[in-house]
């Protein structure tokens, strides 16, 4: 059967990047990492969950920490691959506010996205 | 001098992904490519501008075309690297509507982003 309009089944997934000059202070990848550290209590476990190297995760955490007025993630002793990590109160606040911003942005364009979905066909032609 | 609050100098750059089941029917990369084809009149020129291979650009165009009720980009004869390409009326409409959705999503969270910026420091610590 030929493709039919999808009606309202398209969804948006807005991802908000908060720019800091030319750099991204906070974006979807960093926020997902922050959330994963909050869930696992460990940078290395979060890195595994997100299929990135420990070094990459540590670099992202370090750069997030430095962009904010105080740390978002505090690390215990143990160094490379060891030690625990905790998301600070500020980190939890940043996480919650970022998710709220994402959700509000998505709600604001719900009607436009539903209309837009009429242009899509399922299955693809 | 120690970092100071950035006041309202943080900017958002919301990027909206329109999901089609599990796939992204349209996202920031595809829309930038569509815009570049509209500007250059050529998939290969657009691919160069975006620093991607012709093959990659062609694959993205093909997948966009198939997700919509009619083509967003029409290609002239000439095949690999040759021929011209034009963004169709539907393609131009999709481009305009997508950019409008992005802009509306960004406006909807302007106040929250300005508040959020108070948590950032410049220069980074």
pLDDT of residue B77: 63
- The more confident residue out of B11 and B107 is B107
- Contact between chains at A21 and B66 (C-beta distance less than 8 A): no
pLDDT of residue A38: 96
Q: Which of residues 60-79 of B touch A (CB under 8 A)?
A: 63, 65-69
A19-34 pLDDT, tens digit each: 655 567 788 889 999 9
Judged against a pLDDT cut of 50, whether residue A1 lies above it is answered with no
- The more confident residue out of B118 and B74 is B74
User: Which residues in chain A are closer than 8 Å to B13, comparing Cβ atoms?
Assistant: 16-17, 19
Write out B6-35 in H/E/C secondary structure: CCCCCEEEEEEEEEECCEEEECHHHHHHHH
pLDDT of residue B3: 46
- Averaged pLDDT for residues B18-38: 81
CA distance to A24, A42, A91, B25, B90, per residue, from B121 (Å):
13, 25, 15, 37, 44
| Cβ B54 vs Cβ B80: under 8 Å | yes
Q: A59 and chain B: CB distance < 8 Å anywhere?
A: no
Judged against a pLDDT cut of 90, whether residue B35 lies above it is answered with yes
In the structure encoding, which two tokens stand for residue B25, read together? 């029917």
User: Which residues in chain A are closer than 8 Å to B88, comparing Cβ atoms?
Assistant: none
Report helix, strand and coil shares of chain A as percent, to nearest 5: 50, 20, 30
A86-108 pLDDT, tens digit each: 999 999 999 999 899 888 988 89
In the structure encoding, which two tokens stand for residue B28, read together? 């920031």
| Cβ A32 vs Cβ B89: under 8 Å | no
B37-65 pLDDT, tens digit each: 999 999 999 999 999 999 999 999 999 99
Indicate the helix (H) or strand (E) that contains B74. strand B73-75
Q: Which of residues 87-106 of A touch B (CB under 8 A)?
A: 90, 93-94, 97-98, 100-101, 104-106
User: Which residues in chain A are closer than 8 Å to B17, comparing Cβ atoms?
Assistant: 12-15
Q: B114 and chain A: CB distance < 8 Å anywhere?
A: no
Judged against a pLDDT cut of 60, whether residue B79 lies above it is answered with no
- Contact between chains at B90 and A12 (C-beta distance less than 8 A): no
Judged against a pLDDT cut of 90, whether residue B4 lies above it is answered with no
pLDDT of residue B11: 61
pLDDT of residue A22: 59
Mutation target to probe the B interface, by most B beta carbons within 10 A, among A116, A117, A122, A123 is A116
A2-19 pLDDT, tens digit each: 444 444 455 656 666 776
Query: pLDDT class for B5, splitting at 50, 70, 90?
Result: very low
A43-93 pLDDT, tens digit each: 999 999 999 999 999 999 999 999 899 999 998 765 555 568 999 999 999
């Amino acid at each position: 059967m030929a493709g039919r309009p999808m009606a309202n089944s398209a969804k948006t997934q807005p991802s908000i990047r908060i720019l800091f000059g030319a750099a991204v202070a906070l974006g979807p990848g960093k926020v997902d990492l922050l959330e994963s550290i909050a869930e696992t209590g460990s940078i290395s476990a979060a890195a595994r969950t997100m299929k990135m190297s420990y070094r990459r995760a540590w670099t992202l955490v370090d750069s997030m920490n430095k962009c904010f007025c105080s740390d978002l993630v505090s690390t215990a002793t143990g160094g490379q691959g060891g030690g625990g990590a905790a998301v600070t109160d500020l980190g939890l606040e940043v996480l919650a506010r970022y998710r709220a911003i994402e959700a509000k942005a998505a709600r604001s364009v719900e009607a436009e996205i539903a209309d837009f979905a009429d242009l899509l066909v399922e299955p693809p032609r």
